[in-house]
Amino acid sequence: MSWAVWRRSRPFWGGLLIMVGGLEGVWTTWGGLGLVQFSGLAGATGWLVCAVGLASGGLAWWAPGRRILPGVLALAAAFVSLVMANLGGLFLGFLLLSTGGTMTVTWAPAPYSEEERQRRGSLGDRQVQ
């Protein structure tokens, strides 16, 4: 399978935004952009948001048919980060997580072409390949 086919067969951009948002949340929480480093509950929440973001983005890529759960998890992590992790990574992590989660939830695979429908036959989507 080529890169273009793989990328189009799953919510690629949504998963990527989710993972970048998770990394940005932990970066601003622990790095503090040179201002202040957070530890304790804020630091732990930053790592938790990062872990949820990486897991959700990876799951969206790995199982595109089950994209709703990772998208909803990313949206939940975005709202948790807004309150618990340094204003959601100075709002950038919040925006990346929420945009990626929304893109993942609303993503739909491209419809089958007429040739693909004929090849699948009467079983349709239920056919195992």
Q: How many CB atoms lie within 10 A of CB 51?
A: 13
What's the pLDDT at 58? 93
CA distance 11 to 26: 23
Per-residue confidence (pLDDT) for residue 19, from 0 to 100: 94
Contact 122, 110 (CB under 8 A): no
The predicted pLDDT at position 87 comes to 75
b/e 1-24 (16+ beta carbons within 10 angstroms → b): eeeeeeeeebbbebbbbbbbbbbb
What does pLDDT average to in each consecutive run of 10 residues of the chain (129 residues)?
85 94 80 61 78 92 92 93 77 92 91 71 54
**In terms of C-beta density within 10 A (0-12 exposed, 13-18 middle, 19 or more buried), how is residue 125 classed?**
exposed
| pTM of the predicted structure, to 2 decimals | 0.79
Amino acid 93: pLDDT: 87
